Amino acid sequence: MSLPFIPKRIVVTAYPKMPEAFTEAEAMSVFLKERGMDAPVGSLYDEDLRRRVKQGEFDMLIAVGGDGSVLRAGHLCAPSKVPILGVNLGRLGFLIQIDRKEWHEYFDRLFKGEAWIENRMMLHAEHFRAGEKIGTSIALNEVVVGRGQNLRPVRLTAYVDSRELTSYVADGLIAATATGSTAYALAAGGPILPPELRNILLVPIAPHLSVDRAVVLSEGVTVGIKIKSENAILSVDGQPPTPLMEDDHVNVTAADVTAQFVRFGNPGYFYRNITMHINENSSGFPR
């Protein structure tokens, strides 16, 4: 656990498609102003606010919404090393420790020095065509090479540090972080990894007569994915997909930047979160 963290320049952001998020964000801003701190409120999509974050004007960003809002905040804040405090208004909240009914209590704890910073690995993806790099991106959850709208599976070959690992005929292949192990990778049958790990997790999606097990790779490896069919796409953290052509390559490594999250208590919060969500999802089934 790192040293106590007490911010001095806070910005509060809300998910624009969730009206109640702005209501809650405004209440947080008022709460902070009453304690002598100017805390502007804005949308995660507001270009002026994004520019101010990138320029290092703030030392903490509060993201009000769900896991999707925290993902967007991670992409924005990681390069500028701005820690994120998520407040959950959504349904799941694997990335978020604080519920909408609890933020008053946690804000008080924040200014008492009870918070700490958790660092989570991100991925750096590079897209190559005919030996030329045509795109790069970073991901907090996962990089996915999968089939597009065509229902046929894709053919892929995976490499680890330039050595062939295996070939897949599948709906796709997920390269995930430990953070992403509780997202799409989990839905595809992958294991849950502790958030502090810096391993890359490979999980095939609906493999057909191919390796059907997830693989946890050593820290620091480079994953290469070669596309062997024409109907593939590249998707990073669920963003709009990029079409891929046969013989394109996608390389995935640990990114130089990390996502920083404001946490409270001991790191066991992660396992309590998982247990809570598993219990919630299983409560509707007969025992």
Q: Are 87 and 60 in contact (CB under 8 A)?
A: no
Measure CA 134 to chain center: 23
Q: Is 67 labeled as catalytic in the residue annotation? A: yes
The H or E element containing residue 32 is helix 19-33
CA-CA-CA-CA torsion sign (22, 25, 26, 27): positive
Task: Choose, from 38, 46, 48, 67, the residue flagged as catalytic.
Answer: 67
User: Is residue 60 classed as helix, strand or coil in its secondary structure?
Assistant: strand
CA distances to 42, 88, 114 from 1, rounded to whole Å, are 31, 23, 11
The single-letter DSSP state of residue 209 is S
Tokens, residue 179: 């953070």
Q: How far apart are alpha carbons 119 and 174 in whole angstroms?
A: 22
Q: Are 70 and 182 in contact (CB under 8 A)?
A: no
The H or E element containing residue 264 is strand 249-264
CA dihedral defined by 178, 184, 188, 189, rounded to 10 degrees? Answer: 40
DSSP secondary structure letters along 104-121: HHHHHHHHTT-EEEEEEE
| Residue whose C-alpha is closest to residue 140's, from 197, 81, 199, 180 | 180
- Positions marked catalytic: 67
